[in-house]
Amino acid sequence: MLNIGQRKIGTYNEFVAKNNRENDAKIQPMPYIVVIVDELADLMMTVSNDVEAAIIRLAQMGRAAGIHMILATQRPSVDVITGLIKANVPSRIAFAVSSGIDSRTIIDTNGAEKLLGRGDMLFLPIDSNTPIRVQGAFIPDQDVAKVVKFITDQQSADYDESMMVSDEEIEQEDQADSEDELFPDALDFVVDQQKASTSLLQRHFRIGYNRAARLIDDLQKRGYIGPQDGSRPRQVYKEK
């Protein structure tokens, strides 16, 4: 875009199309990119500062380059959907939530706690102070598979192997996890609270789900806590 003096992807693609018609050129237009984060809370619990900065930068500068974001979370708390993230993500959707606080965290007003579920949602578009009630459509698995197949048929996957974890790195990580340096602190915390769960360790130590789950498994294997019993909390065998 810089080379031809265009500042936005839309005008760049228009220039390319016109140039291709007039000069019989074959310059490829620039594609739009959609970045999807399926569970924002997991990222914010591990590297919140880096994630928040990256989201803000993409939101502020990505639109001109055709980069858009979809951020999703099942835990709409203020430490996940921070004020800076909300300020830079003006269009938001709230599905059914458990409380008015969760509703205000997402769309700045009550209402989502009264939704019926099953695709019932409130959509707060950009430049609007009033959310719109919308009914989302249910998409069966076979239709999802067709859409995914259509997308993958357009362009084969192009993986950056330098970002992928090798078997040796996985083995080293497994060995490190077996001797997690956080285990003594996790044990002290669980004993002090007299309750144990993966989400509890995630929030307190600001770690990812996988590491917190392995700590819970280790605590159970070593006999400090009991097994999961449906919706009941785990029993902590060691007293304060």
| pLDDT value at residue 167 | 63
- Note the pLDDT tens digit of each residue in 137-169: 989 999 999 998 998 888 777 777 766 666 666
Residue 174 scores a pLDDT above 60: no
- DSSP string covering 115-160, please? --STTEEEEE-TT-SS-EEEEPPP--HHHHHHHHHHHHHHS-----
| pLDDT value at residue 134 | 96
User: 177-235: same fold as 2-138?
Assistant: no
Extents of the domains making up the chain: 2-138, 177-235
| pLDDT value at residue 143 | 96
| pLDDT value at residue 40 | 92
- Note the pLDDT tens digit of each residue in 79-108: 899 888 998 998 999 999 999 999 999 999
- Dist. CA 121–CA 99, nearest whole Å: 14
Fold classification of 2-138 is Rossmann fold (3.40.50)
Fold classification of 177-235 is Arc Repressor Mutant, subunit A (1.10.10)
